[in-house]
Amino acid sequence: MTRDLTATLPHAPDAPASAALLDRARAVTPGGVNSPVRAFRAVGGTPRFMTSGSGAWLTDADGHDYVDLVCSWGPMILGHAHPVVLEAVRRTIENGFSFGTPSENEVALAEEIVARVPPVEQLRLVSSGTEATMSAIRLARGYTGRSLVVKFAGHYHGHVDSLLVSAGSGVATLALPDSAGVPAEMAAETLVVPYNDVAAVEAVFAARGDQIACVITEAAAGNMGVVPPEPGFTQALRRITEQHGALLVSDEVMTGFRCSAAGWWGLEGVDVAPDLMTFGKVMGGGFPAAAFGGRRDVMALLAPDGPVYQAGTLSGNPVATAAGLATLQACDEALYDRLGTVSHTIAEAASQALTAAGVPHRVQWAGSMFSVFFREGPVRTYDDARAQDTAAFGRFFHAMLDAGVYLPPSAFESWFVSGAHDERALERVVSALPAAAAAAATA
């Protein structure tokens, strides 16, 4: 486990209302949180309980405001409470919350995704990214009649039992090798190989290729910090899986509709069409909506047409799909241009400040997603990502928090911006950076 830094922090967190809420929360919820990384264990201190969000800004229970560089871990690509999405949600919710029947919004959202991402001929809506990857893997196993899954070290695909092996995100933050409660037999169905290592993928297929149902990969890794595939890597995955009759599953839960209108796939090009893709985060607009989809002949195996069972009481929820559709419709070229400008302004200012303070670092990109590794680069693998100065990041994080900038509370996460990050928000971030870099430098 990562050392709990709470006791060693140089400054007492000036957040009494959040601290009181955390005490209440801890009495009724393990760790006081409903998703581990929110607990600040990697950086120490009191997690802030937020009470409202508007545009680029969050306000906590003590009335402090922050420029939000987490954006709910990606979904809030337009900023908080965007008026167009708010109006779509209001209009929809007036007519009921959930029907347990088909409804038109689900069709419209599916049409929007199919139109944006041509490898997706059909898709099925679910409520979380975890459900999407879990279902995609069941489908790949049903289609191939094989059981093994290949994943990459440091890639996170949600908390699916068989994928919680060498996973990133909260698992990286807590430095858990994998999770208790996952049967060894289940973990044994997953073969973990180093990322960006074509020879390792070839070796695993040479040994067990006829038993491998699929390779699942983050289209560009974002859950160990941002580590994009090296040129030719995705093409190699496509070639090797095809040679061995295995499916290629591209997990775009984080990158989908964020890196471009067609996600990471849209940046990488047409010669790497995966068989199945998974989506979440942006496509729900801040509500629980996610999806998996791909080749029509593979999707045809899903119930009720085929033998692979998959279902969900709230799948395709009318309110969530309305929010997702309104969000995607507002994700036009101007929005992606703005995300590029905002992210480059922040990343360049961060890099300059860290350089000036003499802090070794490396900025890496996937579209407008970026992260700052507290080590020199390049970072190609999970081992590379883990070999960074997480204590320096913790000091940097707290100085930024004190200055009113909410960074992801872990060195292993992407920073996210939105179309609502305006000049005032940028000014807050840029002016906070020199002192934070100086704090990072003081060991």
Ligand X SMILES: *Cc1c(COP(=O)(O)O)cnc(C)c1O
Give the whole-angstrom CA distance, residue 150 versus residue 159. Answer: 16
Q: Which is nearer to ligand X, 47 or 74 (CB)?
A: 74
Q: Give the residue, chosen from 251, 268, 275, 413, that forms a contact with ligand X under the rule CB under 6 A.
A: 251
253-269 burial, b at 16+ Cβ within 10 Å, e below that, comes to bbbbbbbbbbbbbbebe
- Which tokens belong to 276? 């199945």
- Cα 178 from Cα 68, distance rounded (Å): 30
Shortest distance (Å) from residue 152 CB to ligand X: 11
Is 364 a residue that touches ligand X (CB under 6 A)? Answer: no
Identify the helix (H) or strand (E) that includes residue 193: strand 190-193
**For 232-295, where are the E strands, in sequence order?**
247-251, 276-279, 290-294
Q: Does residue 321 belong to the site contacting ligand X (CB under 6 A)?
A: no
- Residue 157 makes contact with ligand X by CB under 6 A: yes
Residue 128 as a binder of ligand X (CB under 6 A): the answer is yes
Contact stretch for ligand X (CB under 6 A) within 116-124, 151-159, 230-238, 325-333: 151-159
Taking CB under 6 A as the binding criterion, the range among 87-95, 127-135, 341-349, 432-440 that sits at the site for ligand X is 127-135
- Among 72, 92, 105, 130, the residue binding ligand X under the rule CB under 6 A is 130
Strands (DSSP E) contained in 374-427 are: 405-406
Q: Give the nearer residue to ligand X in terms of CB position, either 13 or 129.
A: 129
List 21, 22, 227, 253, residue binding ligand X (CB under 6 A): 253
Size of the site for ligand X (CB under 6 A): 15
Is 156 an active-site residue? yes
The region that residue 398 occupies, defined by phi over 0 for left and psi between -120 and 50 for alpha, beta otherwise, is alpha
Residue pair 289/130 in contact (Cβ under 8 Å)? The answer is no
Contact 287, 320 (CB under 8 A): yes
Residue-level length of the chain: 443
* Catalytic, out of 60, 62, 68, 251: 251
Selected binder of ligand X within 229, 280, 367, 419 (CB under 6 A): 280
Measured at CB, which residue is nearest to ligand X? 129
**Looking at beta carbons only, is 204 or 320 nearer to ligand X?**
320
User: Is 158 strand, coil or helix?
Assistant: coil
Q: Is 276 in the site for ligand X (CB under 6 A)?
A: no
Buried b (16+ CB within 10 A) or exposed e, 58-95: bbbbbebebbbbbbbbbbbbbbbebeebeebbeebeee
Q: Which of 367, 356, 358 is nearest to 415 (CA)?
A: 367
For ligand X, the closer of residues 45 and 286 by Cβ is 286
Q: How far is the CB of 15 from ligand X (least distance, A)?
A: 26
The answer to the question of residue 133 lying near ligand X (CB under 6 A) is yes
Of 88-96, 217-225, 360-368, 386-394, which part binds ligand X (CB under 6 A)?
217-225
Q: Is 135 in the site for ligand X (CB under 6 A)?
A: no
Residue 254 binds ligand X, judged by CB under 6 A: yes
Backbone φ, ψ for residue 292 (5° rounding): -135, 150
Question: 386: which 2 tokens?
Answer: 């883990």
14: tokens are 């000036």
Nearer to ligand X, 57 or 257 (CB): 257
Q: How far apart are the first and last CA of the chain?
A: 21
For ligand X, the binding residue among 32, 55, 158, 225 (CB under 6 A) is: 158
Cβ distance to ligand X smaller for residue 57 or 415: 415
Pick 237 or 426: Cβ nearer ligand X: 237
Instruction: Say which of 66, 281, 382, 384 is annotated catalytic.
Output: 281
Active site residue 251: yes
Is 76 among the residues that bind ligand X (CB under 6 A)? no
Q: Which is nearer to ligand X, 128 or 390 (CB)?
A: 128
Q: Are 140 and 308 in contact (CB under 8 A)?
A: no
| Class of residue 166 by CB neighbours under 10 A (exposed 0-12, middle 13-18, buried 19+) | buried
Is 14 catalytic? The answer is no
Choose the binding region for ligand X from 97-105, 126-134, 241-249, 304-312 (rule: CB under 6 A). Answer: 126-134
- Per the listing, tokens 């409470």 go with 81
Residues in 377-436 that interact with ligand X by CB under 6 A: none
Amino acid at 397: F
The residues that are catalytic are: 156, 251, 281
| Footprint of ligand X (CB under 6 A) | 128-130, 133, 156-158, 218, 222-223, 251, 253-254, 280, 290
